Amino acid sequence: MIETVKQIYEEHRSLGWVRIYRLAKSDLIRLYRGAALGWAWALVKPIMTLFVFYFGIRIGLRHGGEVNGMPYFLWQLAGFLPWFYMRRLIPGGAGCIRKYNHLVTKMKFPVSTIPTFLNISELMVHLALLALTLITFACFGCKPDLYLLQIPLYMFLMVISFTSWSLFAGMLGAMSKDFLNLIKSLSTAIFWMSGIIYDVNEIHNKYLRFVLKLNPVTFISSGYRDVFIYKKWIIEDKVGIICYLITLVATILGAIWAYKRLRKEIPDVL
């Protein structure tokens, strides 16, 4: 296991962070190439999604007052902000090696860096959405406070989780299209079983609540709401931290196992 970790580190070091950043930027440009608005679609799509949910819940179902003294729209926005990053990487991470199969099959490319630059690409979009979110909260009279200092920490945890996930799922997805299709079909279930459109802490069944908190999407989305809405420090959610760490360790171990076991076979399969 230690040797595998060293190899992953050496692949990142040999490629260099400047090249990884350029690949991330290239991935973002490639995704929206040919569209009139270009990469701006990366921002338009989340904004449209938020509007649809707001209209459906607030106008259609006539639900949603204030939450902790703030408009329901802001509560919704805080939880959806990290989801826009994570929703692309749940299926996207599983398909990342197949997406860049030409790098794997036609040249000697450090495979473990593909999930890294894919996550950095999505992080660029996330930072732009974060800036828009801060402006939106400011327009509603919510001034920046010390709790915002936790955002970089939650972002770091999010990137670590989904980079590990992308390496694990990407290796398996490259070996099996059935696994890739399974993950794509589960994306909707992951959304509804996370704390994005409801507060997991309000679920009375403690066992169900614990299971739902094992979903890293729940931990990150709830964390963003703690920063923007509830004004809590990360250390206050001890159960959430334990659940997140359990999932993170399992994902990292799975990624190391998958890389060690499959990296030599993938070029032949692809």
- Residues 177 and 185: their CA atoms lie apart, in Å, by 12
Assess contact for 129 and 155: CB atoms under 8 A: no
Q: What is the pTM of this model?
A: 0.86
Note the pLDDT tens digit of each residue in 209-227.
888 888 999 999 999 999 9
Mean pLDDT of the region 67-76: 80
Residue 32 has pLDDT above 70, yes or no: no
What mean pLDDT do residues 120-129 have? 90
For residue 107, give the DSSP letter.
Answer: S
Q: Are 226 and 234 in contact (CB under 8 A)?
A: yes
- Which pair of tokens denotes residue 18? 């400047």
Give me the residue spans of the domains in the chain: 2-269
Question: Is a pLDDT exceeding 70 seen at residue 81?
Answer: yes
